[in-house]
Amino acid sequence: MEFAQEAMAKHAPIDGMLLGFSQGSNLCHPLAASGTLGQGHPLHCVVHLCSNKPGWVGQTPELFEYQLPLPALIVEGKVDEVAKGSDEAIRVAPD
C-alpha cells in the first residue's frame, strides 16, 4: 500500500481513474477507499478487471466501514475459472 500510494503521488493519474487487472485489481480496492477517505490520492473512478476475491475489507476494515461513493466498473470473464471475486467486490452499505 505504501509503495502504491507513493507511486500514485509521484505519477498521479491525470483524470483520476485507476484501472487494475487481476491482482492489480485487488490493490485498487484499498487505494480507492483511502483516496475517498482523504488518506491517499483522490480518484474519480476505478475499473476492476478480473478481480480475485479481495481480502482488504477484513484486513483494513477502517477503510470499508461504509460503501464507497466512487463509481466502479467491475468486469468478470464468463469462462474465467480463477478470478471469481467480482461478486465480493460489490459491497452494499449497512442499513
Is residue 94 one of the residues assigned to a domain? no
Give the structural domain span for 39. Answer: 2-88
Is residue 44 one of the residues assigned to a domain? yes
Structural domain count, the chain: 1
Separation of alpha carbons 65 and 62, rounded Å: 6
Across the range 40-64, mean pLDDT stands at: 84
Separation of alpha carbons 72 and 49, rounded Å: 11
Higher pLDDT, 62 or 25: 62
Is residue 27 one of the residues assigned to a domain? yes
Which pLDDT tens digit goes with each residue over 18-48?
A: 888 888 888 888 898 998 999 888 888 888 8
Is residue 68 one of the residues assigned to a domain? yes
Is residue 16 one of the residues assigned to a domain? yes
Is residue 95 one of the residues assigned to a domain? no
Higher pLDDT, 87 or 77: 77
Contact 45, 28 (CB under 8 A): no
Q: For the whole model, what pTM was predicted?
A: 0.76
Is residue 93 one of the residues assigned to a domain? no
